[in-house]
Amino acid sequence: MSNTLTATESRRTATARTITDVLQPRNVLLAGMLGIGLAAAGEWTGLLWGLLGALCAGLVPAGYIEWERKRGTWGDRHVVDRTKRAPIFFVILGSIGAGSLVMVLGHAPVGILTAMLALWVMTIFLLVVNTVWKISVDSAVASAVVALLAVVHSPWWLLAYAVTVAVCWSRVALTYHTVMQTVAGAALGAATAAAFLFV
């Protein structure tokens, strides 16, 4: 019985690990920002703006995390220690801010710029909350991307919240977060879509 339980727990952990690795923020942002850029421009050039957005919001921060990890600053790319996350948020804010400036100067479609600014504001909230509580960044990003895609493309994209639920589950299963920390992250991510009310 104990062997069966151990095997089940091992499979559960392996599944959660795969989900959290595949659906980590940089990957979700890469796919999501390309879709948002395409919808915002209404043509293929939107993919270039989306790629810029993905680079600034996801790939640059991920590169910074990997660089610090190799230096021994953090044990892994998930940076599970809340007290060590502040520098990452500042890198994200700077990177998204720089990307947004390029978009303004390059006359990017309003939709992709709005999405970038929404992610910038979301990051500020994550930074502030993180000073006292370990809110889930992965859940926030997964939720934000789905919400933004639903606004710029179609409400049918809300069905992709199944992906967000999977991310939340994986973070809890790996004991990186509590249920409430993932729910709070997902709620904050969903709120990013409210930025389009001001467009």
- Calculate the alpha carbon distances from 170 to 23, 64, 135 in Å: 10, 24, 14
- 189 CB-near residues (< 8 Å, 6+ apart): 122, 139, 140, 141, 142, 143, 144, 145, 146, 147, 164
* Burial of 161 (C-beta count, 10 Å sphere; 0-12/13-18/19+): middle
Let me know if residue 10 belongs to a domain.
no
For the chain, strand residue ranges (E) read none
Summarize the confidence of residues 148-153 as an average pLDDT: 93
Distance CA 181, CA 129 (A): 11
Residue 4: inside a domain? no
As a whole number of angstroms, the distance between CA 79 and CA 65 comes to: 8
**167: containing domain:** 16-198
Instruction: Note whether residue 92 is domain-resident.
Output: yes
Judge whether 32 lies within some domain: yes
Is the pLDDT at 2 greater than 60? The verdict is no
Pairwise CA distance, residues 135 & 150, whole Å: 23
Q: Residue 179 to residues 9, 83, 111, 168: CA-CA distances in angstroms?
A: 18, 20, 32, 8
pLDDT tens sequence across 19-72: 999 999 999 999 999 999 999 999 999 999 999 999 999 999 999 988 988 887
Question: Is the model's pLDDT at 5 over the cut of 60?
Answer: no
Number of domains in the chain: 1
The answer to the question of residue 11 being in a domain is: no
Q: Output the six-digit token pair for 62.
A: 């991920």
Task: Tell me, yes or no, whether 9 lies in a domain.
Answer: no
Does the residue 5 lie in any domain?
Answer: no
More confident residue, 75 or 114: 114
Tokens (6 digits) for 10: 């091992």
Catalogue the E-assigned strands of 33-152.
none
Domain assignment present for residue 78? The answer is: yes
